[in-house]
Amino acid sequence: MIAFAEWFIGLFQQGAQVFVGLLTGIIPLVIVLMTAVNALIALIGQERVDKLGEFAARPGWIYTPLRYIVLPFVAVFFLTNPMAYTMGRFLPERLKPAFYDAAVSYVHPPLGIFPHINPGELFVWLGIAQGVQAGYGDSTMINLAVRYLLIGLVVIFIRGIVTERITAYMWNPAEAEAESDHYASAY
């Protein structure tokens, strides 16, 4: 009986130890980092971010890296999840799904270095990262964080282009026109 009670409470003692480890090891860093970045964002202001959105909306292949790498990065960095997707409003309708795809796919890759982007889903990164930190040490975890951030950029670029192609394939100009007229006349 007593042995069982000890074992039972031991389960939660293990959990409590992990919890304290997370609280002292990660929370202070995340809070200080988020404070610095939040202040920076507030001082820079949203108007400047909006300008980039207008610029990225230009047509042409040359602008695809701007649309699916730079704009999503800036959007998630400055506006964070979920407000980052509002940057889609600068783009023409048929590019909006591709931009959303690229932006939403970049709310996790930078979490190792910029946790302010999506603090509510920190463990998409941290679940694996704290295992890596425990098994292989701090510098390996930071190496992983940097690679995750960089490969994320390549992945969202490909996602943007693939989704743009698929959307273009499914897009029916007549239907799009008819619907927008329909909704315009409804007002």
Q: What SS3 class is residue 187?
A: coil
Which residue stretch of 55-63, 64-72, 148-156 sits at the interface with another protein (rule: CB under 8 A)?
148-156
- Regarding 100 and contact with another protein (CB under 8 A), the answer is yes
Q: Which is nearer to another protein, 26 or 63 (CB)?
A: 26
For residue 160, the minimal CB distance to another protein (Å) is: 9
- Regarding 167 and contact with another protein (CB under 8 A), the answer is yes
**Binders of another protein among 21-80, rule CB under 8 A?**
22-23, 26-27, 30-32, 34-39, 42-43
Axis-axis angle for helices 138-170, 96-104 (nearest 10): 170
**Binders of another protein among 106-145, rule CB under 8 A?**
107-109, 116, 119-132, 134-136, 140, 143-144
Q: What's the DSSP call for residue 67?
A: I
Length of the chain equals 187
For residue 66, the minimal CB distance to another protein (Å) is: 16
Distance of CA 60 to the CA centre of its chain: 25
Q: Which is nearer to another protein, 78 or 101 (CB)?
A: 101
- Please provide the DSSP assignment of 44-55 as one string: H-HHHHHHHHHH
Q: Distance between CA atoms of 178 and 20, rounded to whole angstroms?
A: 59
Q: Distance between CA atoms of 95 and 167, rounded to whole angstroms?
A: 8
Among 52, 63, 86, 114, binds another protein (CB under 8 A): 86
Q: Distance between CA atoms of 169 and 56, rounded to whole angstroms?
A: 22
For residue 32, the minimal CB distance to another protein (Å) is: 8
